[in-house]
Amino acid sequence: MNVEVTRLPSGLTVVTEAMPHLESVALGVWIKSGSRNETEDEHGIAHLLEHMAFKGTTRRSARDIAEEIENVGGELNAATSTETTSYYARVLKDHVPLAVDLLADILTESLFDEEELRREKHVILQEIGAANDTPDDVVFDKFSEVAYLGQTIGRPILGTPERVQSFAPGQIRNYLSRNYTTDRMFVVAAGAVDHDVFCKQVEERFATLPRTPSARPVQDVARYIGGETREVRDLMDAQILLGFEGKAYHMRDFYCSQILANILGGGMSSRLFQEVREHRGLCYSVYAFHWGFSDTGIFGIHAATGGEDIPQLVPVIIEELRKAAETIHEQEIHRARAQIRAQLLMGQESPAARAGQIARQMILYGRPIPNNELMERLEGITTARLTDLSGRLFFDTVPTLSAVGPIEKLVSMNELSAALSPQTAKTQQAAG
């Protein structure tokens, strides 16, 4: 890796990876703060702030910001997640100073004008409405709410219409001063970039960022609870999400969980795809995933199917989970490792993907992780570890079930819990 890291006197961390063969640079600012760092009265404000950052500064109007980046053929955007927020750009190498200037401007000089705020609230209300009209969005939002009932980590990132409409500029500034500080921010660039020159540009333009928060950042310790949520809708298909508490980034079984998700439902050769879709034709989409957070995780199986196939679908999925607790084949591990390695290396051919990857590693681990170290972690995963993890993950924890659509025939939670109980698993293993 040609990665360089510098901590500026201000406390801001700058990381670059030079890709000399490119003509472009992907760069951005990643903040260790997201929807999880909101108070009860701030639900949705992290996402609103991300929108408002582009709506005018002391030096530029909203139109100026858009025109200046597009005048040089560049792109400027942002994203809010549960634990992070990012503001990023992609430009040709000659225009890196402009991109740095724009990013610094929107993060240090935003006006949060009342009229712009009123308009942007309306835009976000439309965004909330669109999400509520999208069943595969709804099923994931409802899942999180139940899995982490009453906690910030379980709340939808967009917020609620009532809360979003209530926000004033002062609340946005309070959230900003509490979370957007140099000890929680990373400026990352990948592509045709010179590290020393880039550091000087960042140091000069981001000099006014506060070093310490105005108040202690909010973040409760996550408590996975589990349960169910069902919403009957008149739709052509049903969205079903079955999940369990996964592993946090720093836990021993994190990478093991990533491999297991890949084996169960990571592609067309995965167990769920082959058995549920190809062999039985019970759904048009089925996959498994594992999401890690700083102190918890989610292991889930998502399926989209017609209502008439639901009675057969869920038992088949549970049977595949039971089989995973009995037997994992060495060939499946090799295939999963190969897929993860390919995704890792292919992603590094994109400067934007690489900048995001480095930023996540800095936020989670405090350093860039070399490829060989990542692969060594995967190499240590054995069939015995995977079957042991499967048994603990699927049969020793409370499941979470979220379903939207024509789900009248969906198994009851009591039946589901009984099928996933340790005793049932042991009985079926003995019989099988």
Residue 220 resides in a domain:
no
In this structure, is residue 279 part of a structural domain?
A: yes
Average pLDDT over residues 254-268: 97
Is a pLDDT exceeding 90 seen at residue 217?
A: no
Q: What is the pLDDT of residue 350?
A: 95
8 A C-beta contact, residue 285 and residue 303? yes
Q: Both 411 and 319 in a single domain? A: yes
Whether the per-residue pLDDT at 432 is higher than 80: the answer is no
Q: How many Å apart are CA 367 and CA 7, to the nearest integer?
A: 12
Query: Which uninterrupted H or E stretch holds 244?
Result: strand 238-245
As a whole-number percent, the residues of the chain with pLDDT over 90 amount to 92
Q: Quick one: 189 and 241 in the same domain?
A: no
397 vs 42: which has the higher pLDDT:
42
Residue 384: what pLDDT? 97
Question: For the chain, what is the mean pLDDT?
Answer: 95
Q: Assess if residue 221 is contained within a domain.
A: no
DSSP 211: S
- Mean pLDDT for 282-289 is 96
Question: Residues 50-75: what's their mean pLDDT?
Answer: 98
The DSSP code for 249 is T
Please state the rounded mean pLDDT for residues 32-58: 97
User: Residue 278: what residue type?
Assistant: E
Of the candidates 15, 18, 2, 14, the one whose C-alpha atom is nearest the C-alpha of residue 191 is 18
| Total domain count, the chain | 2
Query: Sorting pLDDT into bands at 50, 70 and 90, what band is 423?
Result: low
Model confidence at 427, pLDDT cuts 50, 70, 90, reads low
Confidence of residue 426 (pLDDT cuts 50, 70, 90): low
Q: Which residues pair with 303 in a beta bridge?
A: 240, 286
Do residues 312 and 282 lie in contact, with contact meaning Cβ atoms separated by under 8 Å?
yes
Q: Note whether 268 and 347 are same-domain residues.
A: yes
Q: What is the pLDDT of residue 430?
A: 54
Mean per-residue pLDDT for 155-172?
Answer: 97
The catalytically annotated residue of 17, 38, 50, 145 is 50
> Same domain for 118 and 263?
no
Query: In 10 A of CB 414, how many CB atoms?
Result: 9
Closest CA to 45 of 165, 214, 133, 219: 165
CA distance 44 to 310: 35
Which of 173, 205, 237 is the C-terminal boundary of a domain? 205
Q: Catalytic residue at 67?
A: no
Return the structure tokens found at 201.
């540009």
> Same domain for 197 and 236?
no
- Tracing tokens 């508490």 back to the chain, one arrives at 245
List the 238-245 sheet strands across, edge first: 227-232, 400-405, 238-245, 297-305, 285-292
Give the pLDDT confidence score for residue 311 in this predicted structure. 94
pLDDT of residue 424: 60
> In this model, does residue 164 exceed pLDDT 90?
yes
- Name the residue among 236, 295, 253, 272 with its Cα closest to residue 396: 253
CA–CA separation, 269 vs 333, rounded Å? Answer: 12
**Whether residue 271 is found in the same domain as residue 358:** yes
Element (H, E) at 199: helix 195-205
The mean pLDDT value for 138-162 works out to 97
CATH code, 178: 3.30.830.10
CA atoms within 13 A on the CB side of 431: 7
Range of the domain at 289: 227-431
Confidence (pLDDT) at 140: 98
Last residue of a domain, one of 170, 205, 240: 205
